[in-house]
A = this chain, B = another copy of it.
Amino acid sequence: MHEFEVWATRARTLAVRVAGADHSMRLANGGWWKATVENAGPGADYAFILDDGDPLPDPRSPYQPSGVHSPSRLVDRDAFQWTDAAWQARPLSSAIIYELHVGTFTATGTFAGVIERLDYLRDLGATHVELMPVNQFSGERGWGYDGVDLFAPHRAYGAPDDLKRLVNACHAKGLAILLDVVYNHFGPEGNYLARFGPYFTAAYNTPWGPAVNLDHRDSREVRRLFIDNAVHWLRDYHFDGLRLDAIHEYYDRSAITFLENLSSEIDALEASLGRRLVLIAESDLNDPRVVTCREAGGLGIDAQWSDDFHHALHSVLTGETGGYYKDFGSLRQLAAALQQGYVYAGEYSTYRGRVHGRRDPRVSGHSLLGYAQNHDQVGNRAMGDRLGHIVNPGRQRIAAALVFTAPFVPMLFQGEEFGASSPFQYFTDHQDHDLAKSVSEGRRNEFAAFGWNPQQVPDPQDPATFARSKLCWKEVESEPHASLLAWYRTLIAFRRSQPSLTDGRLDRVQVNFDERARWLVMRRGAVEVACNFAPDRQALPISRPAKNVIASESGWHARPGLIELPADSLAILY
């Protein structure tokens, strides 16, 4: 016996189809329809029939074993045997986050595949695994941001219990695990939500079309879908936190916004579960209120990704000035990122053509994630090339060292730590022919506009683009990968051993730089980091004699008040 329920304000009649039989549903309160069906239980497939139309999957389907257009399947929520009762995640302030994409992280591209690599991640020194979105999207291959069934694990990665097995295994290894969730839009294929109710509003035009309805009529139920989804992953799947995709594409002018709603509900869940839960936002707003506690007028999100630090670092290392890098490129900006988090904090941005961001000295480094690479910064390049593919090994090492000595919560992207040769390209597997074609052409045209040869831009729909993006794990045993991996291990271990480095107070960060000579020295308590970005050896001023030095290149030489560094190299003094 199972009680089916679905919110459908746009249906005049509703039935649930189970094993070929239709059971009519009754309209209960607030647009919710219900029907109790005997002989329906875990494993049963079902679909909803609105107004005698085609069968539609459940907007809250727990599993779509045959894809986004097919019936949903009931699962036994309580069957999995958890062994993590005593688990507690460490605080974000001491985290090392490792972002990965299930489909390309291993050869098998499954949840089970990830489990096999957990020892490696633990040995690397990572504390938190972050999965790119794993909920059901159309086709087999994709980054995951085109999901449509928010509650169903993507069938190509495994069944619901396979995902639980991964979470449980992480906890058994002492690793926390975070999940990327997308509440700002739904994928273009298999999105049947608007047939059920006003999940979207035409009041706002987003890059994906009408916005998700967070502040118009019936938005309470739309918000409920997302909040229940967050609870689903955190409570039922034991995730330790969520990464919220692009909150700048939430359109919401309510006095109490969805994000604040969500953060207070998750705080309540944390209290009721008795274990630490975190919310991390991707935000392009440079608005400190996102990461300010609710009591102080903020939204109560724990942390956000810091693209400004990435862009400042990337543009200094690569010299790139196209697109959003137009706004960056100076050591002054890198210093600003290190000392205040946002580089644009009320300043005019040339790239945006407007004033951007807001200054707030209360922002802590613990509420900002710092990274030299992530799936977007790699994958949104025409060729999906990693930093190591475009800068020399010296600069690659400087990047890593700055990430792990910066006042932010460090994050790295799968394969970064061993300088993977595989790119991370944009891949899709849309089933609709026209959509597939327009995505392929759109990608080509987008980069042709930037001067790329359209023939060279990888076709997202081509299975080879996906295959090319998979990590080659045998690389870790050979050079230059093994040495780079050793450098990352050294840096991560160093960070975790030095209290100065996990101090989140940005106003304690001291930075000295010479824009023309291309050097920068950062001091954080007992640790001093000297970076030579110049193509020549030069001497950098340091504040005091160091007992120990970790250098990215040999050939450095310390003198009183100075350290001489080879070109494109860095030394950590402590």
A7 to chain B, nearest CB (A): 13
Is there an interface contact between B219 and A287, defined as CB atoms closer than 8 Å? no
A352 to B253, CA, bound (A): 14
A354 to B255, CA, bound (A): 12
Partner of A355, one of B203, B220, B251: B220
Is there an interface contact between B297 and A354, defined as CB atoms closer than 8 Å? no
A203 to B249, CA, bound (A): 11
| A564 interfacial contact with B, CB 8 Å | no
A251 to B205, CA, bound (A): 12
A220 to B216, CA, bound (A): 28
Residue-wise, chain A 369-409 has the 8 Å CB interface mask toward B (1 for contact) of 00000000000000000000000000000000000000000
Considering the complex, give the chain B residue whose CB is closest to the CB of A290: B255
Is there an interface contact between B354 and A219, defined as CB atoms closer than 8 Å? yes
A493 to chain B, nearest CB (A): 37
Is there an interface contact between A217 and B354, defined as CB atoms closer than 8 Å? yes
Question: What residues on B are CB-neighbors of A79 within 8 Å?
Answer: none
Considering the complex, give the chain B residue whose CB is closest to the CB of A30: B348
Question: What residues on B are CB-neighbors of A346 within 8 Å?
Answer: 255-256
A184 to chain B, nearest CB (A): 13
Is there an interface contact between B255 and A357, defined as CB atoms closer than 8 Å? yes
Partner of A285, one of B255, B285, B289: B255
Residue-wise, chain A 252-289 has the 8 Å CB interface mask toward B (1 for contact) of 01111000000000000000000000000000011111
Question: What residues on B are CB-neighbors of A248 within 8 Å?
Answer: 253
Residue-wise, chain A 344-357 has the 8 Å CB interface mask toward B (1 for contact) of 00101000111111
| A215 interfacial contact with B, CB 8 Å | yes
Given A297-B289, A346-B256, are A353 and B217 also a contact pair (CB < 8 Å)?
yes
Number of copies: 2
Question: What residues on B are CB-neighbors of A205 within 8 Å?
Answer: 202-205
Is there an interface contact between A255 and B219, defined as CB atoms closer than 8 Å? no
A202 to B205, CA, bound (A): 7
Give the size of the chain A interface in residues (CB under 8 angstroms).
Answer: 34
Is there an interface contact between B354 and A220, defined as CB atoms closer than 8 Å? yes
| A537 interfacial contact with B, CB 8 Å | no
Partner of A256, one of B292, B296, B298, B358: B358
Considering the complex, give the chain B residue whose CB is closest to the CB of A360: B255
Considering the complex, give the chain B residue whose CB is closest to the CB of A219: B354
| A218 interfacial contact with B, CB 8 Å | yes
Is there an interface contact between B253 and A285, defined as CB atoms closer than 8 Å? yes
A216 to B351, CA, bound (A): 11
A219 to chain B, nearest CB (A): 5
A513 to chain B, nearest CB (A): 26
Residue-wise, chain A 176-217 has the 8 Å CB interface mask toward B (1 for contact) of 000000000000000000000000001111000000000111
Given A204-B204, A205-B205, are A288 and B218 also a contact pair (CB < 8 Å)?
no
Question: What residues on B are CB-neighbors of A256 within 8 Å?
Answer: 346, 355, 357-358
Partner of A215, one of B202, B219, B354: B354
Question: What residues on B are CB-neighbors of A298 within 8 Å?
Answer: 297
A119 to B287, CA, bound (A): 50
Question: What residues on B are CB-neighbors of A286 within 8 Å?
Answer: 255
A343 to chain B, nearest CB (A): 13
Is there an interface contact between B218 and A355, defined as CB atoms closer than 8 Å? no
Question: What residues on B are CB-neighbors of A217 within 8 Å?
Answer: 352-354
Given A203-B204, A204-B203, A297-B289, are A254 and B355 also a contact pair (CB < 8 Å)?
yes
A112 to chain B, nearest CB (A): 41
Considering the complex, give the chain B residue whose CB is closest to the CB of A202: B205
A520 to chain B, nearest CB (A): 27
A557 to chain B, nearest CB (A): 45
A292 to B205, CA, bound (A): 30
Residue among A215, A251, A256, A358 with max Cβ neighbours from chain B (10 Å): A256
A108 to chain B, nearest CB (A): 42
Residue-wise, chain A 216-238 has the 8 Å CB interface mask toward B (1 for contact) of 11111000000000000000000
Question: What residues on B are CB-neighbors of A220 within 8 Å?
Answer: 348, 354-355
Question: What residues on B are CB-neighbors of A296 within 8 Å?
Answer: 297
Partner of A356, one of B255, B288, B297, B355: B255
A414 to B527, CA, bound (A): 71
A541 to B353, CA, bound (A): 64
A186 to chain B, nearest CB (A): 19
Selected A-B contacts with CB under 8 Å, 13 pairs: A202-B205, A204-B204, A204-B205, A216-B353, A248-B253, A251-B253, A254-B285, A254-B355, A255-B285, A255-B286, A256-B358, A292-B297, A297-B297
The 3 closest A-B pairs by CB, nearest first: A297-B297, A217-B353, A255-B358
